[in-house]
Amino acid sequence: METGYIDNGFIVDLTHAVKISEIIYELSRTLDMPEAKNKHICLKLGTIDLSVEELTSIKTLIELMESKLACVSTSSAQTVESATAMEIDVSEFTNEMSAPSFDQTEEPTNEVVQALDNIFGEEKTKDENLINEIRHDDEFEEPEPSENEEEHIKELRIEPEKLPTLYIRRTIRSGQSISSDGNIVIVGDVNPGAEIIAKGDVTVWGILAGIVHAGSDGNNYARIRALKLNPVQIRIGEVFARRPDTVNLPFIQKTSEYTPEEAFTHKGIIIIKKIHNEN
């Protein structure tokens, strides 16, 4: 399976789909967004088995939605066979430039550290500001865990602090995918059609508008933070959500007055709250 970056690409994560109807439904919703038009679409299909006829239907839908099926990523031998028969590239989608290993990663400058501390710093701990369609709830109060749950939750929440952190100082463009076995901090935007996957927390000093997965090893207590959270899809641990159709804000005007937001899970749903909310 080849790896690489596709220019003008747009990643659509369908690994949660277990039947063709779910793929068609989710794909039609995602490709209806303006930022997905006229793109080279890369589908992440997981383990689902697709015949040539089914893959042809998907390809036709993409073309009707004004885009082009560029490649598929799949662990299904049958889907690989079908894609090969249709001359569709089978690829593992990765970032355009290889992410540095942790022992080679430069430490962030003092200016970056200070800016991140000012935005996502200690003040959040006074009110644990913590998105199955993404739920925005500025009034949400996370209940106190039971005595049996408290120690386990505490361990999981501390885990990201023990992980190495990958710092990236650039905007992640549509079609790029960044993954890490630790935390990820991005100084820049994550554009629609891009993908960020981290075993620990994800922090974006900018607008996060692509696909994001924190706690990729199954930690449902990982956190996702950004100056503005507007992801197409979001996962924390094993909890999956997507942006509701009623919140179609693909382009957010840049401003110096963002209120940082944080996503966390509670009882199987993902909630977004503002950080440093002044009340």
CB neighbour list of residue 166: distance below 8 Å, 6 or more residues apart: 99, 100, 102, 105, 178, 180, 182, 183, 184, 185, 198
Average pLDDT over residues 246-271: 72
Please report which confidence band the pLDDT of residue 154 belongs to, taking 50, 70 and 90 as the band edges: low
C-alpha–C-alpha distance, residues 219 and 159, integer Å: 9
Q: Is the pLDDT of residue 7 over 90?
A: no
Q: How many helices (H) and strands (E) does the chain have?
A: 5, 17
Average pLDDT over residues 43-55: 93
- The helix (run of H) or strand (run of E) holding residue 272 is strand 269-274
SS3 of 31, please?
helix
Q: Is the pLDDT of residue 155 over 80?
A: no
More confident residue, 130 or 53: 53
For residue 201, the tally of other CB atoms under 10 A from its CB is: 26
Fold type of domain 2-93: Alpha-Beta Plaits (3.30.70)
Q: What does the radius of gyration of the chain's CA atoms come to, in whole angstroms?
A: 19
C-alpha–C-alpha distance, residues 43 and 55, integer Å: 11
Burial status of residue 7 (CB atoms within 10 A of its CB: 0-12, 13-18, 19 or more):
exposed
Overall CATH class of domain 102-274? mainly beta
Please list the residue range(s) of the chain that carry CATH number 3.30.70. 2-93
Of 221, 223, 265, 259, the residue nearest 241 (C-alpha): 265
C-alpha–C-alpha distance, residues 218 and 176, integer Å: 23
Q: Is the pLDDT of residue 243 over 60?
A: yes
- The helix (run of H) or strand (run of E) holding residue 41 is strand 40-46
Please list the residue range(s) of the chain that carry CATH number 2.160.20.70. 102-274
Residue 99: predicted pLDDT = 46
**Residue pair 226/203 in contact by the 8 Å Cβ criterion:** yes
Of 138, 166, 196, the residue nearest 13 (C-alpha): 196
Question: What is the tens place of the pLDDT at every residue in 50-90?
Answer: 999 999 999 999 999 889 999 999 999 999 999 999 999 99
